[in-house]
Structure 1
Amino acid sequence: MTLMTARPPRPDLDQMLLGGLRELDITQDDHDRVVQRYQEFGEVLDDLWAPTLGSNRVFAQGSFMLGTVVRNVNRNDDIDIDIVALRDIARSSITQETLKAEVGAAVHAYARRPAAGSPRVDESERCWTLSWPGMHMDILPAIPDAEVGRDNLLITDKAVREWQHSNPAGYARWFASRSASQLIASGELEEKRLDIAAVPEWRQRTTLQRVVQALKRHRDVFFAEKSGGRPASIVITTLAAHAYSGGSDLHHVLREVIAGMPDRLRRVDGAWALPNPAQAGENFVDSWAAEPWRASNFFEWLTAAESTFNAIETKAGLDQTIPSLEAAFGSRFATGASRGLADYLRGARDTGSLRVRSGGALSVTSAIPAGVPSRPVVGHGFAGGPTH
């Protein structure tokens, strides 16, 4: 990666980026629909596991838990939720195959409910997936990792005989600890025998959360034609959190984070390694050893992301940046960026700092280089006259 040069803040660009990201946030209706389906599935699983004496749980993990949800380009901007179905049972009392089948039975039983909305059911190596138009839910079966304790899990994987290690709750705590306290964007569920933990509802997000959203969206657009080869969200999220050192200037932080992301990737015995900060036994890039093209794809994307965020601030005027953002993040993002730009320019006009430079490019007073001719933009009232 190239060394990052110091540049003055670009509040206008930050507002465009934030506007685009807000457009990708889930709506209240989306959130409520996720919670309803998540809770209803938990009730089915509760009935199945009622005889178990332990403390069974269903809880969110991944982007919903971290506050980094971003709509999926390849699925028509849909949203997804990752959940863990945890059966509190000893490792010696159950096999991976049995646990996977139990959760699969609950998934199929829920899908057959008339109120479920006829979701499609799919099985992958580690989880089950319920899919609706505009939404999909990945359900990961797990049991406690009693030898390690505190939130550590053993998860299923059809491709290997041994249980796999994970710790999504511990990871969420680590990610939160990496976030700055400064925010840049301004109900518990009913419990039965099985603890259906509440799905977080993010009304405010930190700079780090927005950084991760921006990087994930850029990745999705970059790999729009080959989604199977895109870098995993957990890899991007972990490297971004490691590289984040604070700050609320979103564009500057993005450039800084991208420059620092490769530093935490290690080579161990010739293989790439990125340990789970909450569970050292889990290597987030273990698949790179057998499929080295995944590493190539990651570095190819990271170079493209660096180029994108360096280039968007070099446009001649604020209004010329939108097409570049659309190319990098998609039309939905560009729509939100346009709104963010409009709000920013409206505020600048109202304070008298919006100017028109030679050639017609819009800029704000503090962003115009010394000696460049410009004139103020005058606001208009309803009758077409100037506002006062």
Structure 2
Amino acid sequence: MLSPPISRTPLLSANPSLDYLLAQVAEAVQLTTTQYTKATEHYEAVARWLEADDSLLAKLSPRIYPQGSMALETTVKPRGEVEYDLDLVCQMSHSPGSAMDLYSAVYERLAAHQTYRTMLSKKKRCVRLEYQGEFHLDIIPAIQDPFRGTTSLLVPDRELRGWTPSNPKGFASWFKSKAALRLVEKTARYDAEPLPALRDYDEKPPLAISVQLMKRARDIIFDGDDNAPRSILLSTLAGHHYQGRTCTLTSTFEILYGIQEQIRSASPNTIEVSNPTNPDERFSDSLTRERYTTLKEFTRHLTSELTKLLDARGLDTYQSSLESIFGVKPVATAFEKYGQLLNSRRNTRTLTYSPTGLNIITPTTSPRVPKNTYFGN
């Protein structure tokens, strides 16, 4: 059963050890280097096929770029046997006709490939390539929105049999501006923009880490339930309520409290959440009554569980609390790396004591932990 709401805002003291552990949990749940490499190879191969000179799409000047968690650097490995997804936009200079004509053109080009035709399926707004046992690649046909311009798009919707608004590139830019971080530009072959490189915890902004932690906690709680909060909804709300903190735990608390306050302010109505760079793209339209209830319960529950960390004392208690939120494997990986770092800092005499425990970052006022020589007293 999910926890009741928390009415107090916890006062956080600097605890670099806990922040390090949270960041390592986030790193442990993102795509592995092997998964990322495979995704990149498939992404580039599909892009080359769609953009080739002999392609049916060549006259439409397709441009390929990633969207979603890969673009935001907030990937989270699915639990169990569930495949992860990689989204890419195939933006054309114009449509050969109606929205359905554009959708069909992309589908037919992929169906012309001997391998891809056996992997194809049609979805509401994308064409899906299923890489069995690995992931699925969702390819979203699009053209520029002639009224909004810039990066705003119109995307075919098979249920509406018409156009629907979107702006994934604008959203990614907005999210990264909130995180005060920009992608490193790389030279791309063809017109396919590269996937953002995997980065270590100390290179990733707290906003991205907080989103990864929220998504992982959601997956643990709801375990594939269709009513679980959508990733795009969590990412948007997180971007709105992120206050620029460098502490991951503080950032996550502020995001969760911001969401809860937004929900309270909107009551008895539901909150409205749109793409900040294209208000016509309304993410909250997918919030059924059941999904709205789970969003409220999720933010309260995660706030409650994280609050327990503030009262925890000792690494064993930390580990138990973190496992209940994020699962056993990623937490075990985080503690293994933490142990390695402690040994390294101890040996170089850069490990210190503080009221919150052992510090992996050395304040000048904290007493140093002596190097362990293993030779007795």
User: What TM-score does the superposition give when structure 2 sets the normalisation length?
Assistant: 0.83
Cα gap change, 1:292 to 1:379, in 2 (>3 Å):
same
Structure 2: distance between partners of 1:141 and 1:243: 31
- Per the TM alignment, residue 65 of structure 1 is displaced from its structure 2 partner at its CA by 0.9
The answer to whether structure 1 residue 101 and structure 2 residue 104 are counterparts is yes
| Structure 1 residue ranges without an equivalent (≥5) | 367-375
Residue matched to 1:62: 68
Q: Match of 2:250, as an amino acid?
A: H
Q: Match of 2:40, as an amino acid?
A: V
Structure 1: distance between partners of 2:319 and 2:143: 48
Structure 2: distance between partners of 1:34 and 1:229: 27
C-alpha distance after superposition, 1:105-129 (max 9, x if no partner): 334444x33xx7x974333211222
Residues 174, 276 of structure 2: 8 Å contact kept: yes
Match of 2:90 among 73, 85, 92: 85
Residues 70, 213 of structure 1: 8 Å contact kept: yes
Residue matched to 1:373: none
C-alpha distance after superposition, 1:360-385 (max 9, x if no partner): xx94389xxxxxxxxx987644xx42
Alignment of 1:149-168 (within 5 A): 149-168=149-168
Match of 1:301 among 298, 301, 305: 298
Cα gap change, 1:62 to 1:318, in 2 (>3 Å):
same
- Per the TM alignment, residue 148 of structure 1 is displaced from its structure 2 partner at its CA by 1.4
CA RMSD, aligned part only? Answer: 3.2
Alignment of 1:336-375 (within 5 A): 336-346=333-343, 349-350=346-347, 351=349, 363-364=357-358
Q: Match of 1:149, as an amino acid?
A: G
Cα gap change, 1:3 to 1:167, in 2 (>3 Å):
same
Residue matched to 1:38: 43
Residue matched to 2:15: 10
Cα gap change, 1:197 to 1:271, in 2 (>3 Å):
same
- The DSSP-based 3-state class of the residue aligned with 1:228 is coil
Q: Match of 2:375, as an amino acid?
A: G
Structure 1: distance between partners of 2:328 and 2:292: 28
C-alpha distance after superposition, 1:24-69 (max 9, x if no partner): 2334433332222112112222247556544321110111111111
Cα gap change, 1:74 to 1:299, in 2 (>3 Å):
farther
Match of 1:200 among 162, 181, 196: 196
Structure 1: distance between partners of 2:179 and 2:376: 44
- Per the TM alignment, residue 96 of structure 1 is displaced from its structure 2 partner at its CA by 2.6
Structure 1: distance between partners of 2:308 and 2:346: 26
Residue matched to 1:177: 177
Structure 1: distance between partners of 2:105 and 2:70: 24
Match of 1:255 among 253, 256, 259: 253
Residue matched to 1:230: 228
Residues 21, 336 of structure 1: 8 Å contact kept: no
C-alpha distance after superposition, 1:201-226 (max 9, x if no partner): 143311111111111111111111x4
Residue matched to 2:135: 135
Cα gap change, 1:275 to 1:356, in 2 (>3 Å):
closer
- Per the TM alignment, residue 269 of structure 1 is displaced from its structure 2 partner at its CA by 11
Residues 51, 57 of structure 2: 8 Å contact kept: no
Residue matched to 2:283: 284
User: What TM-score does the superposition give when structure 1 sets the normalisation length?
Assistant: 0.81
Q: Match of 1:12, as an amino acid?
A: S
C-alpha distance after superposition, 1:9-31 (max 9, x if no partner): 22111111112122223344333
- The DSSP-based 3-state class of the residue aligned with 1:196 is coil
> How many residue pairs are counted as aligned between the two chains?
357
Structure 2: distance between partners of 1:250 and 1:147: 39
Structure 2: distance between partners of 1:94 and 1:270: 40
Cα gap change, 1:342 to 1:95, in 2 (>3 Å):
same
- Per the TM alignment, residue 142 of structure 1 is displaced from its structure 2 partner at its CA by 1.4
Cα gap change, 1:36 to 1:13, in 2 (>3 Å):
same
When structure 1 is superposed on structure 2, of 332-341 and 64-73 the one drifting more is: 332-341
- Per the TM alignment, residue 136 of structure 1 is displaced from its structure 2 partner at its CA by 2.2
